[in-house]
Amino acid sequence: MPASYAGCSIYRTPAGQALQVPVRRQEARVHTATSVRSGLGEPVLAGIVTALVGFTSSFAVVLAGLRATGASPAQAASGLLALTAVVGLGIVLLSLRYRIPVTLSWSTPGAALLAGAAVPAGGWPAAVGAFLVTGALIALTGAVPWLGRLVARIPQHLAQAMLAGVLLPLCLAPFQSIGTIPVLVLPVILVWLGASALAPKWAVPLALVAALAVIGVQIARDGVVIAPESLVPSLAFTVPALDPAAIIGIALPLYVVTMASQNLPGVAVLSSFGYRAPWRPALAVTGVGTAVVAPFGGHAVNLAALSAALSAGDGAGADRGRRWVAALTAGITYLILAAVSGALVVIVGAAPAGLVEAVAGLALIGTMATAVTSSFSDPTGRMSGAVTFLLAASGLSILGIGGAFWALLAGLVVRAALERTASRR
């Protein structure tokens, strides 16, 4: 174990889930006025990196997910704008209030789940209604303790298997596109591989830069003219429709994936750096934030998990008491990114068919690898994990309800019928 770690401890989340997290040694430091001023550069830079990595590594997944559930290009752009703005505002609010490096993000696993779903029978308004219900459930989890405990009782390997199954078709896209657009996609994949070896956290952003360069060349070659007014982001309001099939098939899986893959790990990441996340206020902010952005196309806001360490870790400065500045900077950077999101959507919209899906798939490979590992790490739960994984990947839809819900339900049934029975023998 590295010298910077004092050991590991068991952290129990407010929802009742036990997670093992490393505990870092705390060192006393003396700061002069000069060191305080110069030391602010580290958290500010860390905050900018947090926002850039969080946004560029997954916004293509968000657009793919919203389009898959029925959004028009304008509605998907509206959803991205609303999500980016509310994530930024939420981070600013929480970091100023609690003076800790708590960061938020949109639900990337949730967007991936949407990308593998079908358009609900009620169309885009039904999907928006499902997003609204997801926000209400997240807010209720913070207000009603037993709801959080109920979510924590869902076996982690089943939640991860459901996520892995949903991600599988998306992660195949980069390699399938080699057969259809090899000249366009191979440079992007090579950049991603090279960056993964040299600078892993920048692998997807650099792949996105490569993809944007390819798109730029295509636009110039084809003589496509982009109207300047189309680059300005705008919101598109949709009246939500509460459709039972969409609530069961979209809202419930989206809620479970967001809680299990984002909120609970986000708390654990902060704890590993010695910070106690404001659980209830954070869920209130993210739940209300999700409900606010839903009519504009946003699917889910949550605590950051993967990017949380960028603002809370040592890269944000030696003084733990000033790392909240990194989160504040990340929030401000997200607000700036919201202002340019419209231009990105227009450029991505001009991409050759399959290129954006390839970038989204590359962005999700790491998440899928983690989910697959968690799905089958416990030998006693492999059968239920396999059933959940395969059913989620199958694209099954019954009664207008997508495969993610049926996969989780089937996994719970297999676990109760086979694995619990076997464990009692």
Q: How confident is the model at residue 20 (pLDDT cuts 50, 70, 90)?
A: low
Residue 421's identity, in one-letter code, is T
**Structure-token pair, residue 90:** 């939420």
382 belongs to a structural domain: no
**Structure-token pair, residue 50:** 């947090």
9 pLDDT above the threshold of 80: no
Query: What mean pLDDT comes out for the span 22-28?
Result: 45
Do residues 231 and 342 lie in contact, with contact meaning Cβ atoms separated by under 8 Å? yes
Question: Residue 75: what pLDDT?
Answer: 95
Beta bridge partners of 24: 5
- HSE-up of 11 (CA within 13 Å, CB side)? 23
Query: What mean pLDDT comes out for the span 124-135?
Result: 98
Element (H, E) at 190: helix 182-198
Residues 31-48 as b or e (16 or more Cβ within 10 Å = b) = eeeeeeeebbebbbebbb
User: Residues 260-310: pLDDT tens digits?
Assistant: 888 988 888 888 888 988 999 999 999 999 999 999 999 999 999 877 888
327 belongs to a structural domain: yes
CA–CA gap between residue 111 and residue 306 (Å, rounded): 15
Beta bridge partners of 22: 8
224 pLDDT above the threshold of 50: yes
Do residues 47 and 329 lie in contact, with contact meaning Cβ atoms separated by under 8 Å? yes
149 pLDDT above the threshold of 90: no
34 pLDDT above the threshold of 50: no
Q: Which residue has the higher pLDDT, 346 or 86?
A: 86
Question: Residue 395: what pLDDT?
Answer: 80
The domain tally of the chain equals 1
**Structure-token pair, residue 248:** 């069961």
**Structure-token pair, residue 398:** 């019954």
CA–CA gap between residue 202 and residue 251 (Å, rounded): 31
162 belongs to a structural domain: yes
User: Residues 161-205: pLDDT tens digits?
Assistant: 988 898 898 899 999 999 999 999 999 999 999 999 998 888 989
285 belongs to a structural domain: yes
Cα 208 → chain centroid: 17
Most confident of 86-95, 142-151, 308-317, 364-373: 86-95
Query: What mean pLDDT comes out for the span 211-228?
Result: 84
Range of the domain at 69: 41-368
Q: How confident is the model at residue 94 (pLDDT cuts 50, 70, 90)?
A: very high
CA–CA gap between residue 141 and residue 296 (Å, rounded): 23
222 belongs to a structural domain: yes
Question: Residue 3: what pLDDT?
Answer: 39
Q: Beta strand 18-24 with 5-12: parallel, antiparallel or unpaired?
A: antiparallel
Question: Residue 299: what pLDDT?
Answer: 97
**Structure-token pair, residue 372:** 């697959």
Tokens 């339900």 correspond to: 409
353 belongs to a structural domain: yes
Question: Residue 146: what pLDDT?
Answer: 83
- HSE-up of 272 (CA within 13 Å, CB side)? 21
Does this model's pTM top 0.85? My answer is: no
14 belongs to a structural domain: no
- CA-based angle 401:406:409, to the nearest 5? 135
Residue 159's identity, in one-letter code, is A
Average pLDDT, the chain: 86
413 belongs to a structural domain: no
399 pLDDT above the threshold of 60: yes
CA–CA gap between residue 68 and residue 333 (Å, rounded): 28
Q: How confident is the model at residue 318 (pLDDT cuts 50, 70, 90)?
A: confident
**Structure-token pair, residue 241:** 């429709």
Q: Which residue has the higher pLDDT, 11 or 316?
A: 316
User: Residues 340-370: pLDDT tens digits?
Assistant: 998 888 888 888 888 988 988 898 898 889 8
In terms of phi and psi (left: phi > 0; alpha: psi -120 to 50; beta: otherwise), the region of 399 is left
Burial class (CB in 10 A: 0-12, 13-18, 19+), 2: exposed
Lowest-pLDDT range of 121-125, 261-265, 306-310, 397-401: 397-401
